[in-house]
Amino acid sequence: MASDRGTSGIGPRKGERWGALLVLVALSVLFLAPFGWMVSTSLKHESRIFTRPGEPPQWIPTTERTDEQGRPLVTWQGRPGVDLGRDADGRHTLLIGDEQVQAWPEDFAVQQRMGLHWENYARAFEMMDFVQNLRNTLFICVAVVLGTLASCSLTAYSLARIPWRGRTALFFFCIATMMVPYQVTLIPLFAVYSRLGWVGTFLPLIVPYLFGTPFYIFLLRQFFLGIPQDLSAAARIDGCSEFGAFAHIIVPLSKPALATTALFMFLFQWADFLNPLIYLQDDRHYTLAIALQQFQSQHESAWGPLMAMSTVITLPIIALFFLTQRTFIQGITMTGLKG
Partner 1 sequence: MTTSERRHLRNGLLFALPYLIGVAAFVVYPLVMSVYYSFCRYNIISSPVWIGLDNYRELFFNDPVFLKAVYNTLYYTAFAVPLGLAFSIGLAMLLNLRTPGVAVFRTVFFLPSIVPMVASAMLWLWVLNPESGLVNGLLRQVAGIDGPGWLADEHWSKPSLVLMSLWGLGTAMVIFLAGLSDVPQALYEVARIDGAGPWRTFRHVTLPMLTPTILFNLVMGLIGAFQYFTQVYVMTGGRGGPVDSTMFYALYLYRNSFYYLRMGYACAMAWMLFVLIFVCTAAVFASSRRWVYYHGE
Interaction residues for partner 1, span 5-34 (CB under 8 A):
5-12, 16-17, 20-21, 23-24, 27-28, 31-34
Among residues 60, 109, 122, 186, the one that binds partner 1 under rule CB under 8 A: 186
Nearer to partner 1 (CB atom), residue 108 or residue 295: 295
Q: Is 56 in the site for partner 1 (CB under 8 A)?
A: yes
Closest C-alpha among 31, 235, 237, 270 to residue 145: 270
In the shown chain, the binding pattern of residues 189 to 228 toward partner 1, with x for contact by CB under 8 A and - for none, equals xxxx-x-------------x-xxx----x-----------
User: Rounded to an integer, what distance in angstroms lies between the CA atom of residue 227 and that of residue 295?
Assistant: 49
Which residues are within 8 A (CB) of 274 and not within 5 positions of it... i.e. 6 or more apart?
Answer: 182
How many residues touch partner 1 (CB under 8 A)? 99
Question: Interaction with partner 1 in 248-287: which residues (CB under 8 A)?
Answer: 267, 270-271, 273-274, 277-278
φ, ψ of residue 281 to 5 degrees: the values are -120, -20
Among residues 75, 201, 296, 324, the one that binds partner 1 under rule CB under 8 A: 296
State in angstroms the smallest separation of the CB of 71 from partner 1: 27
State in angstroms the smallest separation of the CB of 111 from partner 1: 21
Among residues 102, 104, 173, 233, the one that binds partner 1 under rule CB under 8 A: 173
State in angstroms the smallest separation of the CB of 218 from partner 1: 12
Alpha helices in the chain (DSSP H): 14-42, 46-49, 119-128, 130-161, 167-177, 182-196, 203-206, 214-225, 229-237, 242-245, 251-253, 255-271, 274-279, 288-298, 303-323, 325-333
Nearer to partner 1 (CB atom), residue 81 or residue 328: 328
Among residues 78, 88, 182, 252, the one that binds partner 1 under rule CB under 8 A: 182
Question: Interaction with partner 1 in 223-242: which residues (CB under 8 A)?
Answer: 242
State in angstroms the smallest separation of the CB of 249 from partner 1: 14
Which residues are within 8 A (CB) of 257 and not within 5 positions of it... i.e. 6 or more apart?
Answer: 219, 220, 223, 224, 334
281 and 200 Cβ atoms separated by less than 8 Å: yes
Question: Interaction with partner 1 in 127-156: which residues (CB under 8 A)?
Answer: 150-151, 154-155
In a 3-state reduction of DSSP, which class is residue 30? Answer: helix
83 and 92 Cβ atoms separated by less than 8 Å: yes
φ, ψ of residue 50 to 5 degrees: the values are -90, 125
Question: Interaction with partner 1 in 60-119: which residues (CB under 8 A)?
Answer: none
- DSSP symbol at 104: -
Specify the pairing of strand 108-110 against strand 99-103: unpaired
Among residues 109, 122, 180, 234, the one that binds partner 1 under rule CB under 8 A: 180
User: Rounded to an integer, what distance in angstroms lies between the CA atom of residue 270 and that of residue 264?
Assistant: 10
Nearer to partner 1 (CB atom), residue 25 or residue 131: 25
State in angstroms the smallest separation of the CB of 290 from partner 1: 8
Nearer to partner 1 (CB atom), residue 102 or residue 185: 185
Nearer to partner 1 (CB atom), residue 74 or residue 156: 156
φ, ψ of residue 42 to 5 degrees: the values are -65, -15
Closest C-alpha among 70, 69, 62 to residue 111: 62
State in angstroms the smallest separation of the CB of 334 from partner 1: 9
